[in-house]
Structure 1
Amino acid sequence: MNLSIHPTSKLRTLHRRIIIYPKGNWFTLHYSYLGKKDVYRYDLYKVVLAEVKDILLELMERLEKWKIENR
Structure 2
Amino acid sequence: MLDCVIPKNDGWIILDYKTDTVPAEVTPKVKEKLAERYAVQLQLYRKALTQIWQQPVEKMYLYFFSGQLLLEV
Q: TM (normalized to structure 2)?
A: 0.30
Larger Rg computed on CA atoms: 1
Q: TM (normalized to structure 1)?
A: 0.30
